[in-house]
Structure 1
């Protein structure tokens, strides 16, 4: 039938298909209320894509909890193409589709589907059609969202429909088009096409009641003829909500059928998966014969294709099911449960649970067993839902509490911290706090820590260590409590937690007993007061290596590992942890680990990998609505932005970090934000601003005061202080780094100690310190910091008039900064290098020299035009303020101006004409 009033929508679909044909694929979500015409637009797109391979599936409420159900339907026609995929991808996809026992790795599955579609698209364009995406199971939805966001260079179009605006969830980021109701004139044309010769009065009342909904326009005239009309189609007033009227319309259609046919429709509606064999077996027990099937199919409400059943519109099964008495629904679910094979545990349990109207331990136990199977398949959300329903059906409060606690842990591992928190609270209301602590393994403290409430988390965790039955879990809770205290910057709480960890009796658990010396040495060697117990580097490295075999909760925070200088070992451990968490689909923990990987990759000079890890961690954290974890990923992105000179990104990321961390008292994150701001200002040539931010890290009582970050930021603090002449700051900072280097032998601290001493020393002693910094074994493993040392050394050599040596250091520094993308320091190195060889200067500054400015005068003029003071310019160029004034006195007459105000209006990067 012709589409009325959909010119804009069909044009959008035509553009989507045309772009895909031109290898500019994309996704599009059509969304709007049920019956608004989304499916008709899908059919239009399928018809318009006559030269494309069309793959389609439809979400159903009953299968919404079955992992990869929609993906199975979508790919069924092309399963023979699995052999064309790389072996790991093919194995993962077979596991997801139930074709093997391979683990269902979500990320490999997404890559496999993308590869499969790309292979198909090499032969002809591909159109992926997903109807009723709001009911697609979570696993399939995440996979399809992954694919739709990555087909920009493929002849692939992904078209989805749903009820809600896809501003969040699996379709987030995809283009969306809201499908609204038809205008009255278009609605009247459609109605006339549906019911030729319809009475004008009835047509007006139908258009008014339908509110532009095409499905209502199809159904309401029939309803009016089958009822008295006046009760359902008001003659005046505003359009009424379409949903209830359509349900009544569909129910009226069903009421016209014989009882056995209505029973068949109810069975199909309750089954929800479209399995014709199951419905047939259940119906046979009710005496539903061939005539009932024939009538149901003739009615147009139900269609059959092979072994699949499908209602003409999703509102039909909803209306039939909701409009049936509970007793009938109860009997239907019992019949369906009996018709299912014994190994369909979850489906049987779901039907029996839907039929239960009072506590039933047998059904609750079956649900619990089904949930255990889901957990083995990493289907956490489904397991949590089953366990919650099992708790509702549990006759005994103790059983209900146990199942609620298990549901909370399943929800937590699935990344739904808010659901986990609610389940813990429900269990506590039922049986009190301590039983839930024991059953959940102290989950309440972990939830508070993940939420970013470190002091409250510390309180719960230290209290709950004695309540959990497992020794290993007690150690894990205690270790997280130490970490929570560290996050809060509370040395007193950290010492308290350390004492509790030491007091755990691990003699009965050999695995934990062997781990305890490692944990005790690790956490005992450092506290936030700065007191350090020496620990040999081989033992320190062993700490990290041994932790690679345990839960993520036992891993130390990355800044602390960096302070010890053993971050290389931790990076390997974190990568293993990330792979395990991906396999288990534990999104919350994965977001945390990715944020830490990003920081370590940044330090190691793998900035591209760091950005990918931080961005993925941020996306996952936002998906599970964990703003505290999102803040940690923002720290990684901010660290990169500071080095790249991306001022707006630095401001955005640090502002959002502080909005979360300051109210919750997470000083570690607040300190990270201030450090990022300080580095950004320092690299941008604003040392006074940098020093102001960096000194907050050592200011007692400040929201960003944190000893670990103060130590790590000391090299930046000293450099800024030297540039602005704040000698009172320098001594303490240098001593702090040198003392740490002596106690730990950390490579970064030894390198920084030499570099900082060079900055404050003069004469030949400075050169010896610079050389010592560059010669520290392993210093090159952090290329950005190594290049910073070379830059400072090169600047010192230039001032000592050793131009050839200076050029060597500066060129090497500039090459590293260019490779990393650290533009501010790259430009600084190039400016310094130009000054070492004045013959090279015109190559860098051709246009300005045409106006008669020397290379150094141009540098001074540019900085003055940016409103830097003479002292700030002197600090950045490593000359005296008096020399700056001398250069400006030469610049003004050469440019024909008399003030800085006029200087700011000159384009010093172009032809030196007034802008």
Structure 2
């Protein structure tokens, strides 16, 4: 192994990482520093030290930086025979990326495929992935390798990359990094003495001072200076001279001393940058480049060959040659190279011609546009964006430039960079009308606003651009998102406006679109044209789910609306299968969306352990890909889960983070999804007044959390809290709202909730029948948490009716469900009620009210008639505070816990329950 002077600490780090990888603890590391500082030598050390490992190696080049997956092709070419071991979707995607098939590329799927391939190789022996000059590898490969490097922690894999700058941002963000600095003077002298044994002490001193510890400079400067007196280096002293410019000037001086054909060949090689010796031969035909010229170049040591490939001794050399050439010479070199490329090399020819262009040129711009389309088909969005932006720069007509900028914006958005997409749209809008920009970007302005911005503004853009985009499918897509945006904003008026526009679209000959359009009325229209409620049978609604779920994402309804319709069962199964497939293929962006949706449905279905796993995974993935609203939806679901479990600190954390995003942007659906957990947490903790302060705004027009869907889903919580504080007007309004929705949707959960609230709010002789109907309603048991809450309320009612055996049975069943779910507040409440039901049942003499004082009895009777504390105080000529004190004594004496329960006790007769049920 070659000795590296002054690199003991760096080589020790590499040796340690190699040893850990061999033990199954993989990792990634970025070595960064100025050109020539010794990063490649450290990679060579790692390769030599990785005895018995599979080594995959590639190096970035400036020219191939614009070619999608060019570096990945070099890296994986030796192991393409292992592609058949991958899952079929991954193998197909990777073959497309490597140019082995026409399979369209998916960035996340390709990243997953590379990870699977590397992990599969690591089953045989440790794997070392080495990427030199990573700053020049194409962006598509960079994203794939960044994905891999962050996920090899449990595999015997080490990923080493080198670059010129700090990798704290970009594709290597989050990876450990090691800055490589210059050598000490002592180590520099040792290196010089070893590499140039014949060097005089004066030369060693001068080079050491000038090189600043850069190993490449220490190697190259002595060979570029025949004698110190003939070509003196700048005098030492003052600030250190940057080694980059110093070396470039030294190389340029050496090149200038060569013959014109030799200089031309070196410039062609620097401009070609792919190492294609045949292309250089063809391009040099008109430049007097012959065999003698090749001999001179190879003899110089600056360029070397290996078969049909050529390469420079160090990447700094072509950079120095290219930068030192005149602009006209560089343009001529690019034109010569473009002329010899085959027609299939669209991207390479386009970029050579673009580099040679002196003025706007529509032919070159059109060729770049074709190259961008090819990049998009390969899933190389960032490469396509750069190509389209250059095409816009070379477009003579403002309209063409705007169109290409708009297309670049769409590609940027697809690649996950919303901020840059907005800037590109704004640049395009300065050249052309918004209508033309909408057509070229497929309505991107509204989509961007809906995904990351303000939903009401998104609705405006989307409805406006429905007339601008071409084709009914694009029009329907924008219209469907406009409806969703209005729903997110809690604006039913805007929702109906967008829905009317959407349903008026003529699907033409698109049969599948014509079939999907009527389903949108099912989901979004709460009333028909006459304003009358229209019932929808469950089988029809379920059939709607089956048709929509295979359509574009724009047509799929939001999950809270699915819950409101009560047909989540069929959709849950579909989403679960999608999540499993996406997880297997590592399609992270789509997986984040599906996980957030699945978590909402699983929470209702009582799969609380799955909720926690899916919502947290979805949250992390959404944050990684920058999907703010998806991350906020996950936080709302986690908040509701924490409320059910009684974890109030978690409720506070998740809802606060959610509101930080949703409130400034006016996303009322997300704001409501944060208010609801806060209200439920307070209710289950025994603070009903606080609960109402969070829950009532859901149905309060104009409030930041007002949202009809969430007001409906939280109606049971709201009504229960209202009953506990004597706000029967609020409880009745929620009961009426759910009853109306039950008639409209025929949803099982809505019918069950109506029966439960009738028993809770109205009591009377039909209370028991209502509780039984709530428990037996079709589909009620599919939501076990709510079903158990009904059992708890029914059990409490039975206990107060002194039917203790029946009460114990209901309460025990409820406690078992709450225990399984981890719903600790309601489990404790169920057990407390069981203890009360276990008390002696036979009472001699008067009933519990006999223990009340005369004043307590008066207060209890008035409170049972739904009078407020202030109204009771006014009638009895006492203070409201005294009323509260009396009620605090009344509750434990009567064995109740809230004001609403007073309505079920006969405080005027022999204390029989008003429903007329006796002990039997």
TM-score of the pair, normalised by structure 2: 0.80
**Structure 2 equivalent of residue 422 of structure 1:** 423
Which of 805, 811, 817 matches 1:813? 817
**Structure 1 equivalent of residue 847 of structure 2:** none
CA displacement, residues 22-72 of structure 1 (integer Å, 9 cap, x when unaligned): 222222233334333332222222222223222222223332333332222
**Structure 2 equivalent of residue 676 of structure 1:** 677
Contact preservation (8 Å) 2:33, 2:181: yes
CA displacement, residues 152-176 of structure 1 (integer Å, 9 cap, x when unaligned): 3322222222334444444344333
CA displacement, residues 275-329 of structure 1 (integer Å, 9 cap, x when unaligned): 3443343345544334444444444444444444443433333332222222222
| In 2: Cα distance, 1:879 partner to 1:10 partner | 75
| In 2: Cα distance, 1:544 partner to 1:725 partner | 41
1:79-118 equivalent positions in 2, closer than 5 A: 79-118=80-119
**Structure 1 equivalent of residue 900 of structure 2:** none
Q: CA deviation at 1:809?
A: 0.7
| In 2: Cα distance, 1:150 partner to 1:275 partner | 35
| In 2: Cα distance, 1:82 partner to 1:879 partner | 72
Establish whether residue 801 from structure 1 lines up as the match of residue 824 from structure 2: no
Contact preservation (8 Å) 2:462, 2:482: yes
Once the two structures are overlaid, the 10-residue window that deviates more, 428-437 or 191-200, is 191-200
Once the two structures are overlaid, the 10-residue window that deviates more, 574-583 or 328-337, is 574-583
1:244-323 equivalent positions in 2, closer than 5 A: 244-284=245-285, 286-323=287-324
CA gap 1:95/1:460 in 2 versus in 1, 3 angstroms: closer
Structure 1: any 5+ residue segments left out of the alignment? Answer: 839-870, 886-915
| In 1: Cα distance, 2:302 partner to 2:493 partner | 69
**Structure 2 equivalent of residue 433 of structure 1:** 434
1:560-709 equivalent positions in 2, closer than 5 A: 560-570=561-571, 592=593, 595-605=596-606, 614=615, 618=619, 621-623=622-624, 625-643=626-644, 649-682=650-683, 689-709=690-710
| In 1: Cα distance, 2:586 partner to 2:395 partner | 29
1:725-764 equivalent positions in 2, closer than 5 A: 727=728, 729-760=730-761
Q: CA deviation at 1:13?
A: 1.9
CA gap 1:468/1:99 in 2 versus in 1, 3 angstroms: closer
Once the two structures are overlaid, the 10-residue window that deviates more, 91-100 or 38-47, is 91-100
Once the two structures are overlaid, the 10-residue window that deviates more, 415-424 or 200-209, is 200-209
Q: CA deviation at 1:664?
A: 2.0
**Structure 2 equivalent of residue 236 of structure 1:** 237
CA displacement, residues 475-530 of structure 1 (integer Å, 9 cap, x when unaligned): 33333223222222233333333343355455676655554433344332269xx9
Q: Count the aligned residue pairs.
A: 844
1:716-865 equivalent positions in 2, closer than 5 A: 716-721=717-722, 727=728, 729-760=730-761, 768-790=769-791, 801-802=804-805, 805-806=809-810, 808-810=812-814, 812-814=816-818, 816-817=820-821
Contact preservation (8 Å) 2:96, 2:378: no
CA gap 1:157/1:469 in 2 versus in 1, 3 angstroms: closer
| In 2: Cα distance, 1:574 partner to 1:144 partner | 29
**Structure 1 equivalent of residue 330 of structure 2:** 329
**Structure 2 equivalent of residue 388 of structure 1:** 389
| In 1: Cα distance, 2:50 partner to 2:579 partner | 41
| In 1: Cα distance, 2:319 partner to 2:615 partner | 42
**Structure 2 equivalent of residue 892 of structure 1:** none
Structure 2: any 5+ residue segments left out of the alignment? Answer: 840-882, 898-920
CA displacement, residues 820-872 of structure 1 (integer Å, 9 cap, x when unaligned): xx66666776787798889xxxxxxxxxxxxxxxxxxxxxxxxxxxxxxxx99
Contact preservation (8 Å) 1:813, 1:829: no
Q: CA deviation at 1:817?
A: 0.9
| In 2: Cα distance, 1:232 partner to 1:146 partner | 45
Matched residue of 2:63: which SS? coil
Q: CA deviation at 1:332?
A: 1.9
1:464-479 equivalent positions in 2, closer than 5 A: 464-479=465-480
Contact preservation (8 Å) 1:598, 1:636: yes
CA gap 1:172/1:634 in 2 versus in 1, 3 angstroms: farther
1:455-534 equivalent positions in 2, closer than 5 A: 455-504=456-505, 512-525=513-526, 534=535
CA displacement, residues 122-181 of structure 1 (integer Å, 9 cap, x when unaligned): 332222222223333333333333333333332222222233444444434433333344
Matched residue of 1:430: which SS? coil
Matched residue of 2:405: which SS? helix
CA gap 1:582/1:118 in 2 versus in 1, 3 angstroms: closer
Contact preservation (8 Å) 2:784, 2:817: no
Matched residue of 2:31: which SS? strand
**Structure 1 equivalent of residue 844 of structure 2:** none
| In 1: Cα distance, 2:26 partner to 2:652 partner | 34
| In 2: Cα distance, 1:326 partner to 1:137 partner | 25
CA gap 1:200/1:467 in 2 versus in 1, 3 angstroms: same
1:345-424 equivalent positions in 2, closer than 5 A: 345-424=346-425
Matched residue of 2:152: which SS? coil
Matched residue of 1:473: which SS? helix
Establish whether residue 453 from structure 1 lines up as the match of residue 457 from structure 2: no
| In 2: Cα distance, 1:681 partner to 1:253 partner | 79
Q: CA deviation at 1:610?
A: 5.2
CA gap 1:210/1:798 in 2 versus in 1, 3 angstroms: farther
Establish whether residue 11 from structure 1 lines up as the match of residue 15 from structure 2: no
CA gap 1:89/1:314 in 2 versus in 1, 3 angstroms: same
Once the two structures are overlaid, the 10-residue window that deviates more, 723-732 or 421-430, is 723-732
Matched residue of 1:55: which SS? strand
Q: CA deviation at 1:631?
A: 3.1
CA gap 1:256/1:584 in 2 versus in 1, 3 angstroms: farther
| In 1: Cα distance, 2:126 partner to 2:484 partner | 53
| In 2: Cα distance, 1:665 partner to 1:35 partner | 53
CA gap 1:5/1:347 in 2 versus in 1, 3 angstroms: same
| In 2: Cα distance, 1:661 partner to 1:33 partner | 44
Contact preservation (8 Å) 1:784, 1:816: no
CA gap 1:833/1:259 in 2 versus in 1, 3 angstroms: farther
**Structure 1 equivalent of residue 846 of structure 2:** none
**Structure 2 equivalent of residue 150 of structure 1:** 151
**Structure 2 equivalent of residue 555 of structure 1:** 556
TM-score of the pair, normalised by structure 1: 0.81
| In 2: Cα distance, 1:100 partner to 1:881 partner | 80
Matched residue of 2:62: which SS? coil
| In 2: Cα distance, 1:140 partner to 1:728 partner | 63
CA gap 1:789/1:696 in 2 versus in 1, 3 angstroms: same
CA displacement, residues 351-374 of structure 1 (integer Å, 9 cap, x when unaligned): 222222222222222222223333
Once the two structures are overlaid, the 10-residue window that deviates more, 707-716 or 597-606, is 597-606
CA gap 1:769/1:509 in 2 versus in 1, 3 angstroms: same
Matched residue of 1:348: which SS? helix
Contact preservation (8 Å) 2:26, 2:153: yes
Contact preservation (8 Å) 2:818, 2:826: yes
| In 2: Cα distance, 1:184 partner to 1:651 partner | 58
Q: CA deviation at 1:729?
A: 3.9
CA gap 1:612/1:252 in 2 versus in 1, 3 angstroms: farther
